Every structure is written in C-alpha cells, then in structure tokens.
Structure 1
Amino acid sequence: MALATPNTNHQFEEKAASDIMQPVGLNIKFHAWMGLLTLVLMACLYAYYTQLRDGLSVTGLRDYVNWGMYIANFVFFVAASLIGMLISGVLGLLGFQWIKPIARIAEIIAVAFAAVAGLVIVSDMGRPDRLPFVFLYGRVQSPILWDVTVVTTYLVLSLMLYYVPLLPDLAIGKTRMNQSHGWLAKIYDILSLNWKHYPEQYNILHKAVRILLILIVPTAFAIHTVTSWLFAVNPRAGWDSTIFGPYFLTGAFVAGCAALIIAMYFFRSNYKLHRYITPEHFDKMGKLLVLTSIIYLYFNINEFLVPGYKLKEADAIHLHELFSGHYAPLFWGTQILGLILPLILLLFKPMRKPLPVLIISFFVLAGAWAKRYIIVVPTMEHPYLPKQYVPDEWMLYQPTLTETAITVGSIVLVLMIITILAKLFPVIPIWEIEEKPNQTSNQTNETS
C-alpha cells in the first residue's frame, strides 16, 4: 500500500496553490504600472476628444484613403484575439495536456483584444453617436453588420471561457486571502458562486467548458472570415481575392501565437512561475508558431503570385507599389523580418528557448501589425477612378499625430485589461494543474 502518495499529492496541491496565488493582489508595482498607463491613456483620450470635436480632418483620412491606421489596428486586434480559440478550442478539444498552464493566459489575451477591437471601430467613425443605427437599421446583406454581431458573440464566449474554468480557483483563492486583501476575498466569494469542489460540480464544469469550446471554434472562424470579407467583397486590386478568409485566419494564428509567447515570458519571469510555465511550453509554442507561419507563408505567396501571373493593369500598379515602390521597405521588412526569418530561426531548437523565442515573437507581432497596414492602405491609394483636381495630400495617406495617439490608446487599453485580470485572478488554473497529480495518485493507489 503506497501510503506516502496522498501526502505527496497534498504537498503538491499546497505548493501549486501558494505559488500561483502569490502574485495575486494589488501592490506598489501594480499601482506604478497602472499609473503610467493611465497617464498615457489620458493623453490619448485628449487626442480622441480633439478628433470628436474637429472631425476626422485631424487624421490623415481623406476621400480616397478613408480606411487607414484605425482599420489596420482593428484587423490586428481581431487577429490576436483568436489565440484563445486556437489554444483552448482546437488544441483543448484535441486533448493536448501541455496547454493547461497557458490556456488561461490565452483567454486573457482573447478577452482583452476582442473587447478593445470594438472600440477601435468606434474611433474610426466620424459620428460615433450613430453607432446604434448599425443595430437598428442594419441590413443582413452587409458584412459590417455580420462583423459587429460576430465580434460581440466572440467576446461573450471568450468571457465565459475565461470565467467558467475560473470558478474552482476562486473558491480556492478566497480562503487564502490575508486581511490586506479582504475586499478581494469578498469578490472571490461572490464570483465563486458557492463552489464547494463537489464531483457533481466538476462534471457540470467540464460539460459546460466543452460546449463553450465547441461553440467558440466556428465563431472564431467566422469572426476573421467576416472581417476578411469586408475587403474581399470589394473589386479593388489587392482585395479582390477568394483566399482572404483562410489567409486572414492563418495570419491571426501567427499573431496570436506571438502575443501568447510574449505574455508567457512576462508572467513566468515576473510572477515566478518557472515551475509551471517551463521551457518545454516555449518549445511547443515555437513549433506551433512555425506550423502556422508555414501555412501563412503559403497564403502570402498565393496572394501575390496569382495576380502577378495575370498582371491586370490595376494589379500591376498595386504590386509595383509593394515590391519596388513607395511601400517596398515596409513590405519587404514585414515579409523578411516578420515572417520568413523568424520561421527559419524557429526551425532550430536553441531558438525555441524562452529568451530567443521571446525576441523572435516581438518581430513577428510587429510584422503582423505592419502586414495589416499594408493590406489596408496601399490598395486605397490606387482607386480605379483617376485622381483629378484634388490636393496632393489627399492622394497619399500619412497618419497624423492625433491618429497615432488614438491608436496607441487602444493598445494601452489592452495592456490595462490584461494587467487587471492578471493581478486580480490567478493566471494559471490551479485545479487543472492539480488534476494530473490527482490522476497519478489514484492510479498508484489502485495499483497498490
């Protein structure tokens, strides 16, 4: 009879709960970081106030280029949010156990980016007071109505996928709060919904999570497919493509993987979670980034090879602008530094260790944002109708300081949401980390 096993398992549970709950709570570093973000956000909100007061004339948007940095940022945010579905939905439903310590981090990223994506669209509107008209008078034929609907649905499902698996940890955490965090213990008590760790509760929890995972997979596919249709239903050169749906999806997985790797490294280092987020997790995420990048590279080749082969007049102008014209430095920098070079480096195992893969992920994420900018802006600078009798500044798009500040403000909001969720609640699911030792213990006892 293996009498020592239950005691060892209990020690593991105590150690895991203590380690994961230790960073929870508001400390001086949190206040300093949030204070800095708040100051930056206030400056960005003033920029938005200026835009609201004076109109979109304070931006670089004009009659020809009426989609610019804002829409590129929106597409990027939607893309990054899909990491929650990829990790929890696809890999979770396939039964990969290694994702357990990082699944909640992926959901935090999904919630933050999806929540702010809607606000980014509002920043692109000259009359945000007319936003309710989209719901009141929206036409079913319009991809814009589909986009608003599916983004909202994805946000709700992501919130539920974050909150429902959090219930057991809330019950664990409320008993570990000291007197200085009494208010947080009350929040945990309310949000835990009287969770008592009964087997029946866990059965319901597993079924509920599985249903949510099944629902979020088609929703996530729809969210970026519909976003791609906002471009693809237009006959403009550079957008008139039938592959934009899968092309946007694979690009989203690349951006999401890079964002998750960066978050993993931060939480592992700053929250002292080396025992739970291991080099093996970075290695596997690096391999996942390689896989998604290969597929994304395939779609990138298709995006330019087919129109380049046919070389219609409008396509020729567009491709020339990208390959050797005004946008060539940004285009080639994005393709080489943001996709091809990271893909090659990550094929080697030393490059998939925590620090190297972190640096590579920064380049991939920056390239992902720049790629959305390249998709949006150059196409709009070359309409079919000739540009006549308009000022020179109307012909080319140049983001203004106000526009840039508002874009930075949306990124700050994402960081604030991630920071708040990560400091109020454990970033690693305690009860799921303990499941494996519990199963091992049960198997050992049965064998004994």
Structure 2
Amino acid sequence: MTAASTRQAAAERIVAIPPHFPARRSWWLLFGLALSLLLLFLVSVAVLFARGPGVWGNNVPVGWGFPIINYIWWLGIGHAGTLISAMLLLLGQTWRNSLNRFAEAMTLFAVMCAGLYPILHLGRPWRFYWMAPYINTMNVWPQFKSPLTWDFFAVLTYLIVSTLFWYIGILPDLAAARDRATRRRWQVFFGLAALGWRGQASHWARWNQAYRLTAAIAVPLVVSVHSEISLLLAAGPVPGWNSTVFPPYFVLGAAFSGFAVVSMLTVWLRWMLGLHALVTPRHLDMLGVLLLVTGLMTGYGYVAEAFDAAWAGGKEVETLVDRFVGPYAWSYWGALLFNFVPLQLLWWRRIRTAPAALFLVGLSATIGMWMERYMLLVSSLYRDWLESSVQLYAPTFWDWSLFAGTIGLFLTCFLLFVRFLPVISAFEVEEQLAEGAHG
C-alpha cells in the first residue's frame, strides 16, 4: 500500500465511524446508563426548584458544600482538553492529532456541567443573569472587586473560546464526512454543519489563522480560570485557604484530574471503536508521562501547603492537624492514597502503555482529586471562629443524586458526540502521515 493510499484509508476510517458505527450494542448500553443518570439529574433539579437549596446538606458555617466541590472538580477536568489541543498545537507536537478532538469535546461538556452548579446554587436560578453587568432600572451592578464576579467572566469566556476552538478545528472533517456520506440525511447534517467548506486555499489560510489565534487565546485561559477559582478561597480569612500557593496548586491539580479523565476516555474509545492503529502505545505512553508529571507537581502543592500552614502557626496549624486526625481525615488521607500511590506505577513504560493499568490509574486520580476538593472546602469551613458555631457537614441524598446526574449529563453529551461526529481529527492525521512519508 502506498503512502497516499494509507493516508486516504486513515481519513476514510475516521469519517466513516458516524454513518457506519462499529460498536452499536456497546454504545446503546452505555447510552442507556447515561440516560438513566440524566433522568436522575432532572428529578434532582425538579426537587431543588420545588423545595429550595435546603434539600442539600449545606449549613452554617458550611455554606459551600457539594455544589462548589463539584463545580471546581468538573471545571478542573475540562482543563486537559485545552492543554492537549491548544498548547501542543502551538508547540508543533503532532502526536496530539489522535487525541485532541475528543479531548476538546470533553472540555466543553465538563465546563457545561460545572457551570450548572453555581446557577443551581443561587436559590433562584432563573435570576442567574443578575450576575452579569447589564443596564437595569435598579442601577444594581455586581461587585467587580469580588472573585465571584471574576469567576462569572472567566468561566463564560473559557466556555466561549473552547467552543469556538473545537468548532473551528472540526470544520474540515465535517466537510470530508459530507463528501463521503452516502445517505441523504448524513449529507444534509454534515453539509449544514460544515458551513460551506470547500477546501479552497483561501479557506485553509483563514482557517489556519483562526485556529492558531484561538489556541493562543485558550492557553492563558487555562491558567487564569483556575487561578481565579483559587482566589475564591485564598482571598478570604479562612484557615487552610489563605495561602499564596493556591493559584499554581489549583492549576496543576486541574491539569492532573483532566489528564486522568482524558486517559480513561482514550483507553475506552480505543477499545470500543477499534482505533488501535490511530491511538498507538506511544499516545498512551505520552498520556502516562503527562499524568505522572502533573501528579508529582500536585504532590509538591500538598507539601507547600503543609509548609505554609506550619510556618504561619495558630489557626493554620490547627486546621492542618484537624485534616490529619479530625472527622474529615478520611478525605485527606484518601486524596493522598488515590492520587499518589497508584501514580507511582507510571514510572515504568510497560505500565504506561498497558491500557487497563492506565485506565485504573486515571480512575484513581479522578477519585482522589474529588476527595481533595472535599477536604479543602469542608475541613476549613466546619470549624468556625467560634466554638459554638462549629457544625459537621454531611451531604444528603439530593447532593449525591445531583452529582450522579451531572455525570449522566456529561456521558450523554459525550456519547452523542462519539456517535454522530468524527472523534479523531482526520485531516490532521492525514497531514501527519504525509509529513512522515516525506521525511
């Protein structure tokens, strides 16, 4: 087989996945599970609207419970897609071409799940637009000095830029799927989505400018969004939060959890769709290296946080000791166990390139990072400044059901993406093969 025919076969293999889906039974089983969880989400939201946020376990002083824990967790997961796609594009790393498309989709759906939590947390979610600075008759404006207002702008900007970056990148593949489709409904669907793309030189020139410009905008957003989220905590006089290490600590932790989820999705899609020729052991190896590096950096954040607390003394030391042996010590030691013990297996390349091992390490890190968020929020809030105000926090059934429901929302959106759109960038893989053929 010649190099040209190899490139054409690879491109056709990718764009043929939606109309000739190879794993219909597995997809329907997973989609049924996702729809069940999505139904649980809808029921949880309906109960919330009918009875109010009192159905959650939030109390005084733990006013920030599951909604903010899961908000930070979901937003962190979305960071890896931008890092894999935008940053590696600007650095000229072509191995990203087999991963960037579904990593970008993961970012969109994770940010969408994260954005729902602050809206639902408002108590009157139908008034969410009050957070935006718009001209109104009451002349009431948001407090622009508050990190809460920065959060609104940062997340909204990140969602818009990530959506544009994903859609610009998929345009050539939508046109390729349109041209190769044999059924009328697929031709119409991909034709409308391709926006009249014909592959002309002027199209490619404008596309390349827009794609790289959007990537250049997206990369600093990764840092700014989670740095700003950390300021929601670090800007307040709460023991365990008031630390300058939080911005880099949160950014690295977000990248760590995001790479963990990307690793799991890569292994799953590689197995279900038979993408072994496109997602090779080298891709698994690189994901394992990224997961190991960001995990070790996150571990350094743990050490720096403990050092800051010991150096500050007073209430900071009390909070640190409470995390070690207090009622929520399970979350601290659980985060250490799930985040860093299985991670050490990734020092060996044989483990990094083993799909099952990489999937399990990624799953462990995902659980560990959720426990870290729980530990950071609850263990610092439940011990108020007055002993009479100390109150333990316990999530209710509706906390857990809403969390499980957002997982169902994420899986539903992702499975629909896998079913109806190219999961790998066909034109970039073809270009990479062409460059390899010419040395």
TM-score by length of 1: 0.91
Identify the match of residue 84 of structure 1 among 81, 86, 90.
Answer: 81
Q: How far does the alpha carbon of each residue in 1:348-384 deviate from its partner, in whole angstroms, 9 at most, with x for none?
A: 1122022211111110111111111111111110111
SS of equivalent residue, structure 1 residue 275: coil
What are the within-5 Å matches in structure 2 for residues 3-18 of structure 1?
A: 8-18=2-12
Q: Residue type matched to 1:371 in 2?
A: E
Identify the match of residue 422 of structure 1 among 418, 425, 429.
Answer: 418
Identify the match of residue 167 of structure 1 among 171, 174, 193.
Answer: 171
Residue equivalent to 1:246: 248
Residue equivalent to 2:323: 322
Distance 2:329 2:337 in 1: 12
Identify the match of residue 197 of structure 1 among 196, 199, 204.
Answer: 199
Identify the match of residue 270 of structure 2 among 260, 268, 275.
Answer: 268
How far apart are 1:43 and its partner, in Å?
Answer: 2.5
1:184 and 2:186 are equivalent in the alignment = yes
SS of equivalent residue, structure 2 residue 341: helix
Q: Residue type matched to 1:370 in 2?
A: M
Distance 2:29 2:262 in 1: 24
Q: Residue type matched to 2:368 in 1?
A: G
User: Contact 1:13–1:434 (CA<8 Å) still a contact in 2?
Assistant: yes
SS of equivalent residue, structure 1 residue 417: helix
Q: How far does the alpha carbon of each residue in 1:199-251 deviate from its partner, in whole angstroms, 9 at most, with x for none?
A: 33222222111100110112221111111111011110011111111110000
Distance 1:366 1:433 in 2: 33
Identify the match of residue 214 of structure 2 among 194, 212, 218.
Answer: 212
Distance 1:362 1:440, change over 3 A: closer
Residue equivalent to 1:359: 360
What are the within-5 Å matches in structure 2 for residues 42-441 of structure 1?
A: 42-135=39-132, 136=134, 137-179=141-183, 182-312=184-314, 314-338=315-339, 340-353=340-353, 354-387=355-388, 395-441=391-437
SS of equivalent residue, structure 1 residue 343: helix
- Note the aligned Cα RMSD (angstroms): 1.8
How far apart are 1:9 and its partner, in Å?
Answer: 3.0
Distance 2:343 2:209 in 1: 37
How far apart are 1:29 and its partner, in Å?
Answer: 4.7
Distance 2:250 2:30 in 1: 33
Residue equivalent to 1:3: none
Identity percentage over the alignment? 28
Q: Residue type matched to 2:149 in 1?
A: L
Distance 2:102 2:36 in 1: 26
Distance 1:63 1:327 in 2: 17
Unaligned runs of 5+ in 1: 1-6, 389-393
Distance 2:312 2:198 in 1: 65
TM-score by length of 2: 0.93
How far apart are 1:144 and its partner, in Å?
Answer: 1.1
User: Contact 1:84–1:158 (CA<8 Å) still a contact in 2?
Assistant: no
Q: Residue type matched to 1:14 in 2?
A: Q
How far apart are 1:31 and its partner, in Å?
Answer: 4.3
Distance 1:319 1:437 in 2: 53
Distance 2:172 2:105 in 1: 17
Return 167-176 or 193-202, whichever deviates more. 193-202
User: Contact 1:104–1:429 (CA<8 Å) still a contact in 2?
Assistant: yes
Distance 1:293 1:66 in 2: 30
Q: Residue type matched to 2:275 in 1?
A: L
User: Contact 1:19–1:273 (CA<8 Å) still a contact in 2?
Assistant: no
Distance 1:412 1:43 in 2: 8
